Amino acid sequence: QLQLHESGPGLVKPSETLSLTCTVSGGSITSSTYYWGWIRQPPGKGLEWIGNIYYSGSTYYNPSLKSRVTISVDTSKNQFSLKLSSVTAADTAFYYCARRGNPYWFDPWGQGTLVTVSS
């Protein structure tokens, strides 16, 4: 059964870079059928798609975050990662990684990790 697990610092200072890694188990990240994505959710609020990556390294980002987002993949570790630069308190959220299928849907999701931006 495919599982995803997010890891990374739970606290990031304003203006710094948020870095998270998603480890995929129970399946290969190099599957030609799927992309891999990041979604976030501020506490008590709705969901926001951040971006996707294919195992080849091809990416697509939410235009509203594009200038600050980098998603990368490490096929040797079956992992993909998120970097979000110049963070502010507005970036405080639960960050989820998920597998993206076609047409556009996300399943399964990781359990999520809360990242708080605060000095």
Partner 1 sequence: QSVLTQPPSASGTPGQRVTISCSGRSSNIGSNSVNWYQQLPGAAPKLLIYSNNQRPSGVPDRFSGSKSDTSASLAISGLQSEDEADYYCAAWDDSLTVYVFGTGTKVTVL
Place of tokens 């507005």: 90
- Shortest Å, Cβ 79 to partner 1: 18
Q: At closest approach, how far in Å is the CB of 102 from partner 1?
A: 10
Q: Fill in the per-residue mask, 31 to 70: x = in contact with partner 1 (CB under 8 A), - = not in contact.
A: --------x------xxxx------------xxx------
Residues 80-119 that bind partner 1 (CB under 8 A): 96, 101, 103-112
| Nearest CB to partner 1, comparing residues 16 and 48 | 48
User: Distance (Å, rounded) from C-alpha 114 to C-alpha 107?
Assistant: 20
| Shortest distance in whole angstroms from residue 37 CB to partner 1 | 8
List contacts with partner 1 (CB under 8 A).
39, 46-49, 62-64, 96, 101, 103-112
